[in-house]
Amino acid sequence: MKNLLFLIFWIFSPAILLASEFPLLFDVTDVASDDVLNVREDPSPNSEIWGTIAFNERNVEVIGLSEDRKWGQINSGEISGWVSMRYLSPVPDADWFLSSAQLRCGGTEPFWDMTMNAPSQGVASFQAMVEETPRVYSIDWHGGQIARMNNVIGLGGRNTDGPNGFSAVIRRTDCHDGMSDMSFGLAIDLFLHGDGAPEGYEGCCSIRP
């Protein structure tokens, strides 16, 4: 019942759509068990099919909406495509800016990857391609702008077995990794600090349930 009320409120509230708090997570719904949800090149039923999503797929990240708000932009493999919002139901309490949100961020030059709250709550793990083992941090602070909590957040923490730490600012904005045709709805500025010189990284983030 909670999910149904959330969906009805979301569909019939233009203000929420105009606020565009994307990226958000959705579950595939109303697709027959012997069918799939098509991922199309453009937000049109006549556009070329680039891929498919299972009839019962859960936690699909939608980056944003088409101008008519009938199509959602998602990443499928190494490309970005569009799916019909008619077959997507919003996942409650999955906002990216919450302190409990599971995020995965990464970038290039050099290649690096960082997870937050995944698989463990309150833990961040960073690893650059040149490193054999990840650096693990305990997240000890998290906050957003007072007036625009859903636009920018900051967070940071300390190494679980040493004095080193990290600080990050994540912004809701269009982002591209420069290596693929994927699109992202979150950008990150990351700084690792401790005994040596601080290291700065930039990249994109996605919600990882």
Q: All domains of the chain, ordered by start, with CATH?
A: 2-90 (2.30.30.40), 103-207 (no CATH)
pTM of the model: 0.86
Exposure string over 78-100, b if 16+ CB within 10 A, otherwise e: eebbbbbbebbbbbeebbbbeee
| pLDDT tens-place string over residues 114-162 | 999 988 999 999 999 888 899 999 999 999 988 777 899 999 999 877 7
pLDDT band, very low/low/confident/very high, at 15 (cuts 50, 70, 90): very low
Give dist(CA 2, CA 116) in Å, integer.
27
| pLDDT tens-place string over residues 64-73 | 999 999 999 9
| pLDDT tens-place string over residues 22-55 | 999 999 999 999 999 999 999 999 999 999 999 9
pLDDT exceeds 90 at position 107: yes
pLDDT exceeds 50 at position 187: yes
pLDDT band, very low/low/confident/very high, at 197 (cuts 50, 70, 90): confident
**How much is the pLDDT for 55?**
97
Rg (CA), the chain: 18
Q: How far is CA 36 from CA 28, 60, 66, 103, 150, in A?
A: 9, 14, 21, 27, 32
Mean pLDDT (the chain) is: 89
Amino acid identity at 142: H
Non-local CB neighbours of 131 within 8 Å, separated by 6+ positions = none
**How much is the pLDDT for 209?**
64
pLDDT exceeds 50 at position 16: no
The CB-side HSE value for 51 (13 A sphere, CA atoms) comes to: 13
pLDDT exceeds 80 at position 196: no
Check residue 179 and give left, alpha or beta (phi > 0: left; psi -120 to 50: alpha).
Answer: alpha
Look at the chain and count its residues. 209
